[in-house]
Amino acid sequence: MAVNIAKFGGTSVANLNAMRSCARIVLDNADTRVVVVSAAAGVTNHLVTLANEELTDEQRSKVITDIETIERRILNDLGQPEEAATKLDELLGLLREQARHEELLFRPDLKDALLSLGERMSSLLFAELINQMGGQATNFDARRVIKTDSDYGQALPDIQLIAEQAETLLKPQLDKLVTVTQGFIGCDEFDNTTTLGRGGSDYTAALLAEALGAETCEIWTDVTGVYTTDPRITEKARPLPELSFEEAAEMATFGAKVLHPATMVPAVRRDIAVFVGSSREPEKGGTWIKRDCEHEPHYRAITRRRDQVLVTVKTPDMLYASGFLEQVFGILAQHGLSVDLVTTSEISVSLTIDNPPNSVRARINRDCIEDLRQISEVSVEEGFDLVTVVGNNMHSAAGVSAPIFDAISAVNLRLICYGANPHNISVLVHSGDSESVVQKLHGRLFEV
Ligand SMILES: Nc1ncnc2c1ncn2[C@@H]1O[C@H](COP(=O)(O)OP(=O)(O)O)[C@@H](O)[C@H]1O
Ligand SMILES: N[C@@H](CC(=O)OP(=O)(O)O)C(=O)O
């Protein structure tokens, strides 16, 4: 039996109408045995507000009511089925209780438990819908299979354990039932709930595809595939029929929100073809991401990653000194920070760190800066975006960079990264400039 995993993002399960299109997609493909859903659009952001912000009782109640309204509307439109209504009541009860926990703001484990509720509610409602539409679905708790470490907010999956759990718990029911489960959430060795980082449902789908030996993994969202750039930045962006694993991984890492950065990792390991398409317009097709593509153009797409922090570490001692970079990276690693771009001079090193809002966990913190200050002068600048041109053989062909730099010659480029790998050229620009940088590059590289 060929197995397909279908993942539906937040906008695809935002209300019952949107969910109906998704259910049709599931029922139309007999190979779709596992369905991964995200929380209904907006719910995880509300949960992050509850988990991260100091709120008055009134503010907290308002956020809880907003979540409740979204979920109850779907239940209502489903006709208030009794069993689902009882389970939703239980989850909403947990929400009210956990949102008021005194230690919520300081306990990452409690934050993750709270954050998991969005997916737990949407999967309950989606399974009910599939059954109402004539399918045979079961709502399955992803935490039984997605085993992770205890790095709450950004937990790392245990691939071996996930494979074992999937083998015993999921495989036996594959041919009998459509398994509807939650993206984004997992469970650690202490039985605490964990989350895989914002946008992590794509990753869950790919992990399950790997664990179950699936042939394909579909990511259904609100756009008809992966585009030459974010269609919200320019209406000239166009969907790409195919992408290689490398290109897609690069795009995801450098900000194409349509895919979580880790999604391609399991796909590459097991050679699983990944499809991206619109749940509203499935008939329009989408993008197939696979190992080999027919064409490998120099320029494939442009991505933008917002909210980059530029840290510059400077010490005269670096002159002729060895081990300085090691110390700097050692401190960053201790604080769990991963660095994206690095440039060095004789006495300084500049690096960028991703610091998106609405994360469960702040990335760059005062303690880390203080530790860096123990060894050097440190400056921290915010308000940058990273714009990346993704393509192929970019570092080994003559003339590839010229049109890029020509198109944005009037822009203040704060940092450039080129040559470390064949698939990208990145520039760091002030946030106010990034939209026009993407538009100019798109015009030059894709609209001629
Ligand atoms: N290159 C790109 N191609 C398509 N969409 C992109 C791209 N870059 C960014 N996006 C954005 O990603 C969005 C879909 O991702 P996301 O909002 O996380 O969806 P979902 O809720 O389905 O997971 C699109 O609406 C689009 O604005
Ligand atoms: N609900 C989670 C996980 C996720 O992947 O969502 P989406 O598929 O809507 O991006 C989040 O908002 O981060």
Enter the ipTM.
Answer: 0.99
**How many other C-beta atoms can be found within 10 angstroms of the C-beta atom of residue 302?**
30
**Span from the CA of 346 to the centroid of ligand 2 (angstroms):** 42
Tell whether 186 is in a known binding site: no
Model pTM above 0.80: yes
Which of 96, 105, 106 lies closest to 51, judged by CA? 105
Tell whether 9 is in a known binding site: yes
Residue 287, beta-bridge partner list: 276
How far is the C-alpha of 16 from the C-alpha of 18, rounded, in Å?
5
Tell the residue number behind the tokens 């003339």, with chain if given: 399
Name the residue at shortest CA distance from atom 6 of ligand 1: 230
| Three-state secondary structure call for residue 311 | strand
- One-letter amino acid of 322: S
Could you state, in chain order, the average pLDDT of each consecutive group of 10 residues for the chain (448 residues)? 96 98 98 98 98 96 98 98 98 98 95 98 98 98 98 96 98 96 98 97 98 98 98 98 95 94 96 98 97 92 95 76 81 84 85 78 74 90 95 90 95 89 93 98 95
Tell whether 71 is in a known binding site: no
| Three-state secondary structure call for residue 381 | strand
- One-letter amino acid of 296: E
pLDDT on residue 14: 98
Q: Which atom of ligand 2 is nearest to the CA of 196?
A: 3
Fold of the 4-290 domain? Carbamate kinase (3.40.1160)
pLDDT on residue 395: 86
**Span from the CA of 198 to the centroid of ligand 2 (angstroms):** 6
Name the residue at shortest CA distance from atom 6 of ligand 2: 199
Name the residue at shortest CA distance from atom 15 of ligand 1: 258
CA 56, 62, 68, 70 dihedral sign is: negative
Arch. (CATH architecture) of 301-446: 2-Layer Sandwich (3.30)
pLDDT on residue 335: 86
**Span from the CA of 167 to the centroid of ligand 1 (angstroms):** 32
Tell the residue number behind the tokens 């909403």, with chain if given: 92
How far is the C-alpha of 21 from the C-alpha of 247, rounded, in Å?
29
Q: In what helix (H) or strand (E) does residue 437 lie, and over which residues does it extend?
A: helix 431-446
Tell whether 418 is in a known binding site: no
How far is the C-alpha of 9 from the C-alpha of 105, rounded, in Å?
27
How far is the C-alpha of 42 from the C-alpha of 8, rounded, in Å?
14
For the chain, the domains span 4-290, 301-446
CA 58, 60, 65, 70 dihedral sign is: positive
How far is the C-alpha of 255 from the C-alpha of 381, rounded, in Å?
20
- Write the DSSP assignment of 117-154 as a string of letters: HHHHHHHHHHHHHHHHTT--EEEE-GGGT-BB-S-TTS
Q: Which of 44, 258, 259 to mutate to test the pocket of ligand 2 (most atoms within 8 A of CB)?
A: 44
The answer to whether 195 and 115 are in contact (CB under 8 A) is: yes
Tell the residue number behind the tokens 């999604």, with chain if given: 263
Axis-axis angle for helices 57-77, 117-132 (nearest 10): 10
pLDDT on residue 448: 80
**Span from the CA of 329 to the centroid of ligand 2 (angstroms):** 30
The answer to whether 187 and 141 are in contact (CB under 8 A) is: no
Q: What is the chain's length?
A: 448
Instruction: Write out residues with Cβ below 6 Å of ligand 2.
Output: 9-10, 38-39, 44, 118, 183-184, 198-201
pLDDT on residue 363: 62
**How many other C-beta atoms can be found within 10 angstroms of the C-beta atom of residue 419?**
12
**Span from the CA of 223 to the centroid of ligand 1 (angstroms):** 7
Tell whether 200 is in a known binding site: no
